[in-house]
Amino acid sequence: MGLTVGAHLEIIRATYEGSSEENGRNLLAALAPEAEWTEAEGFPYAGTYVGADAIIAGVFQRLGSEWTGYRAEVHSFMEDGDRVAAFGTYSGTYKATGRSMRAAFAHLYGLRDGKILRMTQYVDSAMVREALEPAV
């Protein structure tokens, strides 16, 4: 299946630019069955999750239940063959502490034939972890 130039970028863009529900549906549709999703060391959900169920439970359900207004806003996308990078800013308020954060991130995706095989997160985790700590 030959994809046109920019097709992978559009698949990834569709996981960020709609409503949370649309983004989630688009992500699930794009994940390969054994997709690997790696959250950065130092991030609250650090580790590698394999498969849609593990990714949803280990990352997205936690983001939805532990944070208020959590967002990943992308300002730039780049495509290089089967790799797509998204650069942006996370924001949200951690419910347990009431503390807000803003942190720069980069997500690097590897795709094949329109399916996400892997995602690796790079993030300023210190800014996120600060929100997890109770105010002094």
- Encode the chain in three state secondary structure: CCCCCCHHHHHHHCCCCCCHHHHHHHHHHHEEEEEEEEECCCCCCCEEEECHHHHHHHHHHHHHHHEEEEEEEEEEEEEECCEEEEEEEEEEEECCCCEEEEEEEEEEEEEECCEEEEEEEEECHHHHHHHHCCCC
Domains and CATH numbers, the chain: 7-132 (3.10.450.50)
pLDDT for the residue 136: 75
pLDDT for the residue 19: 85
pLDDT for the residue 29: 96
- 1-37 residue pLDDT tens: 456 768 999 999 999 998 888 999 999 999 999 999 9
What's the whole-number mean pLDDT along residues 35-60? Answer: 96
